[in-house]
Amino acid sequence: MESSLNKHIAKKHPDESSKENLRESRISCPNCSEKFITLTSLIHHLEKSHNEKVPINKLSFESMKEFYLWKKQEEQSSDSLYVQDSGCRLQGLNCKRYYYCHRSGVFKAKGKGLRVLKIQGSCKINQFCTANMQVSEDTVTGKVTVTHCSQHIGHTLDMSS
């Protein structure tokens, strides 16, 4: 069964929904390995196909400072970190920032293999965790809205697994 989002992507963004793009996508389901273009598509799939409960919260803050204080508390209480993947992306009067679980992604050795890697290994899980924050800052008022998925799917919060 195809989700509404996948239908939308196929109809409105044909380049993004091509089988080649899906094949090259790094976002895959930890339960069945199906691939997705976006984390939102993965979350919809987990809810529909695997009956996973993936809560999405919408929050508002008066400023980025207030958001950063909340983010720090959220990271401490969940024993995880959220990292920003790139700088601010302007969309109209809004500055968009995207934060992902620090364990998301694939480990890439940066050197030429001359040094021994640490015994513990990388914290990366070689796939994408569903935990993320989509942050929108109004550049006029300074108010911040956050769409937050706090559910970590694809790994435990223990670094050894």
Over residues 73-113, the pLDDT tens digits come to 999 988 888 989 888 899 999 999 999 887 665 556 566 65
Neighbour-count burial for 57-95, b at 16+ CB within 10 Å, e otherwise: eeeebeebeebeebbeebeeeeebbbeeeeeeeeeeebb
Over residues 40-66, the pLDDT tens digits come to 888 999 899 999 888 899 999 999 999
Report the alpha-carbon distance of residue 132 to residue 102 in Å, rounded. 10
At residue 150's C-alpha, the angle toward residues 56 and 145, to 5°, is 55
Which percentage of the chain shows pLDDT scores above 90? 33
Domain residue ranges in the chain = 1-53, 55-161
Q: Specify the residue for token string 């697994």.
A: 161
Report the alpha-carbon distance of residue 6 to residue 14 in Å, rounded. 10
pLDDT score at 161:
45
